Amino acid sequence: MSLYKRSGWMSPLMYLIASFGIATVLGVGTYLINSGKMTAGSFASFVTSLLLLYKPVKTLGNTLTGIQNIFVAMGRVFELFDLKPEITDCGNPIELKGLNNKIEFKNVNFEYIENHPVLKDLNLTVAKNETLAVVGNSGGGKSTLVN
């Protein structure tokens, strides 16, 4: 949206300027030829070179639009750089010390209420610096495992 807002006026403006330019050139040219200050031949070659100029100028306009495009994209990238992670440390985080190798669960059983097991015969190994995702239905025991 931002890109279109910034570059949308480019094309109509170019056409407007070109239209006024052609009208002015034709008007002045006619006057110069009529008053004998310019020959019809040199006016024709002037108009031809002017038309040849149109394409490069339009390309320049497109290039400017491309540059705008880059600025919009850069803005998005810097927005991402400035993002603050939603997950932050609590006020006084406790550093986990003494973990040198891994956390290993071997045949772990756990229950809050007698005869209502939550974790049954659980085996799990998490190496140091490894990230583990625990996925499961609600009440499956994920929070219990982490706690």
Contacting positions for ligand ATP (CB under 6 A): 112-113, 118, 136, 138-144
Q: Specify the stretch interacting with Mg ion by CB under 5 A; choose among 6-14, 45-53, 111-119, 137-145.
A: 137-145
**Site for Mg ion, residues 13 to 72, rule: CB under 5 A:** none
Burial class (CB in 10 A: 0-12, 13-18, 19+), 47: middle
Q: Does 140 help bind Mg ion (rule: CB under 5 A)?
A: no
CB of 144 to Mg ion, least distance (A): 8
Please tell me the distance from the alpha carbon of residue 25 to that of residue 43, in angstroms, as a whole number: 9
The residue number with the shortest CB distance to Mg ion is 143
Asked whether the beta carbons of 25 and 19 are under 8 A apart, the reply is: no
Residues in contact with Mg ion, shown as a per-residue x/- string from 87 to 126 under the rule CB under 5 A: ----------------------------------------
For ligand ATP, give the closer residue by CB, 33 or 118.
118
For ligand ATP, give the closer residue by CB, 12 or 136.
136
Count of residues touching Mg ion (by CB under 5 A): 2
The closest alpha carbon to 125, from 147, 101, 103, 110, belongs to 103
φ, ψ of residue 122 in degrees (nearest 5): -90, 130
The closest alpha carbon to 59, from 98, 103, 10, belongs to 10
Please tell me the distance from the alpha carbon of residue 83 to that of residue 77, in angstroms, as a whole number: 10
Q: Find the helix or strand (DSSP H, E) in which 109 lies.
A: strand 102-113
26, 62, 143, 145: which one binds Mg ion (CB under 5 A): 143
For Mg ion, give the closer residue by CB, 33 or 118.
118
- Interface ranges with Mg ion (CB under 5 A): 142-143
